[in-house]
A and B are shown apart, each in its own frame.
Chain A
Amino acid sequence: DAGVIQSPRHEVTEMGQEVTLRCKPISGHNSLFWYRQTMMRGLELLIYFNNNVPIDDSGMPEDRFSAKMPNASFSTLKIQPSEPRDSAVYFCASSLGGQNEQYFGPGTRLTVT
């Protein structure tokens, strides 16, 4: 079975540019989570969806960040405009409803210069 798929794996962009990160959850999983990981702050939950509906976006740092899940097999996390402090590894994870075990994708390493 394919795991969680994320793209791109690496993204380097200039400050002010729009960045879009993509995620395909494990087939059949109906919960999807976006995390950000930095050395200073560790792994932080940004937003999570259940059955394609955003349930909790309290971790989204500010209005520059937005996330969508148009269907059960695809989600995007967008940063517009990007800033150097957004540089981090962004992970997507999914889980099967009713179970709490989350499975992570390979991550997108974002560098904003």
Chain B
Amino acid sequence: QKEVEQNSGPLSVPEGAIASLNCTYSDRGSQSFFWYRQYSGKSPELIMFIYSNGDKEDGRFTAQLNKASQYVSLLIRDSQPSDSATYLCAVEGGSNYKLTFGKGTLLTVNP
């Protein structure tokens, strides 16, 4: 059974701070890693994906992957109240395009 674990939170940070969201996964064969943002009552929205070890930056977002430790994280710099949402980590193993999702971390950015 492939598992993806996330701290459910809530994670509360002040506006302008760095928010750090973490995810671990059980399947060592996993190849692709995704971060989705889900606002309350809305559908998941893809914000980042990473395939290789190291960091990947896109604007205020940085995804970090460490396959040896089976760990992936998302950093949000200069957090804004509009970043308040649940962040879902998703992991794909092998080539069958199936994603396994964590249960998400609720992030609250306080003005």
Using a CB–CB cutoff of 8 Å, the interface residues on chain A facing chain B are 31, 33, 42-45, 48, 50, 55-56, 91, 95, 100-107
Inter-chain CA distance A91–B88, complex, in Å, is 15
- Nearest B residue to A6 by beta-carbon distance? B43
Binary flags per residue of B69-111, CB closer than 8 Å to A gives 1, else 0 = 0000000000000000000100010001111111110000000
The number of inter-chain residue pairs (CB within 8 angstroms) is: 44
Q: How far is it, in angstroms, between the C-alpha of A105 and the C-alpha of B45 when the chains are bound?
A: 9
What bracket does the count of chain B residues touching chain A fall in?
A: 20 to 34
B61 CB–A CB distance under 8 Å:
no
A42 touches B103 (CB 8 A): yes
- Using a CB–CB cutoff of 8 Å, the interface residues on chain B facing chain A are 32, 34, 36, 42-46, 49, 88, 92, 96-104
Contact check, B97 vs A48: say whether CB atoms are below 8 A apart. Answer: yes
Question: Would A56 and B44 count as touching, CB distance under 8 A?
Answer: no
Complex contact B44–A100 (CB within 8 A): no
B99 touches A42 (CB 8 A): no
Question: Given known contacts A43-B101, A107-B43, is B96 in contact with A56 (CB within 8 Å)?
Answer: yes
Cβ-defined contact, A104 with B97, below 8 A: no
Q: A100 contacts B97, CB within 8 Å?
A: yes
**A91, B101: Cα distance in complex, Å:** 13
- Interface pair A48/B98, CB less than 8 Å apart: yes
Known: A50-B97, A56-B96. A104 touches B49 (CB 8 A): no
- If the complex has contacts A42-B104, A43-B88, are A102 and B99 also in contact, measured as CB distance less than 8 A? yes
